[in-house]
Amino acid sequence: MKERRLSSILEMDENIKVYKDGNYNSLGFIKEHEKERLLVFLNDEKYLSDLEKNPNISCVICSENILEKIKNKDIGICIANDPKITFYRLHNYLAKNTEFYGKNFSSQISKTAHIHPTAYVSDQNVIIKDGVKIGPNVTILDNVYIGEDTIIRAGCVIGTEGFQFARIEDDILPIVHAGKVIIHDHIEFQANCCVSKGIFGEATEIGQKCKFDNLVHIAHGVRMGKRCLVAANAMIAGYTTIGDDVWIGPSASISNMIYIGDGANITIGAVVTKNVGDRQSVSGNFAIDHDRFISFLKSIR
């Protein structure tokens, strides 16, 4: 990503006020700690502590009432009536009108990859490595990397837009997904899985040797380790991080922005809303430790 001045936001809307200029080279949410020189939005005082905890934030779009709380910080500050909407509009502008999130390139497909005649592969920004097998009616959209010997079976969609929208009074603003999907080596997707790309240039990333049953949904920004097994109808929401050797059972639902540790076991139908530790097993809706869940069931039967 290219570094930009906060004041360049005036290219999009000259009515926005830049209180203090600064530089940024990434956009994201206030709790993201992996990006450098990060631009975020802040429209509620309850997130001030998150701002203090994240040294990688270099610029903020905030409301007038928040300004007094942060004006002495060594960061760029932009004032907007609706910081969240201004932030998303800026992101959409950068994605559509600039090379902030990267340049296009012609797709690169290995000669040893086997792609079914009915499959669609974007002619831009796709890399498909040796030994990949892509089945009937698969759709591979732009900004997708597929590692060696990966199998993608019938009807899968890889690199789609994710479910991210922002309400504007009586309208809804769609958020452009300017990220990518990285699928490492020796992965297998059964029929009709869907993987969304990241929003702010980051990747949805699947580690080596993971296997997915039919109808699995993986949302934007998910990062999954190696050798995970995900059963049919499971849903993994955005920006969740999953360790190595995790089992996710049929029809499990995993909320956004949580962490699931190495070797964890998410049982059938579990609704996971909190972090899960290494080798922990959880069950139920909302999911709790599996042994506690079984004890509770026994107590009411």
116 catalytic? Reply is no
- pLDDT of res. 292: 80
Fold of 4-97: 3.40.1390
State the pLDDT at residue 66: 92
Write the CA distances from 65 to 48, 150, 225, integer angstroms: 12, 51, 41
Output phi, psi for 70, to 5 deg.
-130, 0
Is the separation of the CB atoms in 110 and 149 below 8 Å?
no
* Dihedral angle computed from the Cα positions of residues 128, 129, 130 and 131, in that order, rounded to the nearest 10 degrees: -50
- What pLDDT does 14 receive? 76
- Residue boundaries of the structural domains of the chain: 4-97, 108-300
List the chain residues with pLDDT less than 70: 1, 288, 300-301
**Closest listed residue to residue 223, CA positions, set 206, 245, 246, 237:** 206
The rounded distance, in Å, linking the Cα atoms of 145 and 181 is 6
For 108-300, CATH number out of 3.20.20.70, 3.40.50.10420, 1.20.1250.20, 2.160.10.10 equals 2.160.10.10
Distance CA 30, CA 24 (A): 14
Q: How many CB atoms lie within 10 A of CB 124?
A: 11
The pLDDT value given to residue 2: 73
114/118 Cα distance (integer angstroms): 12
Model pLDDT, residue 277 = 97
Q: What is the pLDDT of residue 299?
A: 75
Tell me if the pTM is above 0.95.
Answer: no
Active-site entry in 33, 177, 220, 290? 220
- Write out pLDDT tens, residues 56-67: 999 999 999 999
